[in-house]
């Protein structure tokens, strides 16, 4: 698990990568399937290495919510909400 002061930094880094992947979906450079594969690759390559888990939930309106949690405690670190219509990814931090 990251040090408490570093958790937000790691979260911001991961959010930035999710934002990049989401923008590729929003502007048509990725299909929905490629988007899912890219996020799963990110989770395997970076998220787990930093002691987090990343889960996603797709909504009927096309929006996606990602929850970034500490792997050992399952405590929520951040919620990332992606709107494919606008390409916007908002991040709500829950850790310090």
The CA–CA distances, whole Å, from 30 to 14, 35, 37, 61, 94 equal: 19, 6, 10, 18, 30
Kindly report, residue by residue over 13-70, the tens digit of the pLDDT: 888 898 898 888 888 899 888 988 998 899 888 898 889 999 988 899 988 899 999 9
What is the number of domains present in the chain?
A: 1
CB atoms within 10 A of CB 25: 20
pTM of the predicted structure, to 2 decimals: 0.80
Task: Provide the residue range defining the domain that includes 49.
Answer: 4-93
> Of how many residues is the chain composed?
96
Contact (Cβ atoms closer than 8 angstroms) between residue 17 and residue 42: yes
How far is Cα 28 from Cα 10, in angstroms, rounded to an integer? 28
């Amino acid at each position: 698990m990251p040090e408490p002061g570093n958790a937000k930094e790691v979260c911001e880094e991961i959010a930035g990568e999710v934002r990049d992947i989401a923008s590729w979906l929003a502007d048509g450079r990725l299909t929905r399937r490629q988007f899912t594969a890219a996020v799963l690759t990110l989770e395997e390559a970076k998220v787990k290495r930093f002691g987090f888990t990343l889960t996603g939930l797709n909504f009927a309106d096309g929006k996606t919510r990602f929850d970034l949690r500490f792997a050992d405690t399952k405590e929520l670190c951040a919620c990332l909400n992606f709107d494919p219509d606008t390409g916007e990814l908002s991040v709500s931090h829950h850790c310090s």
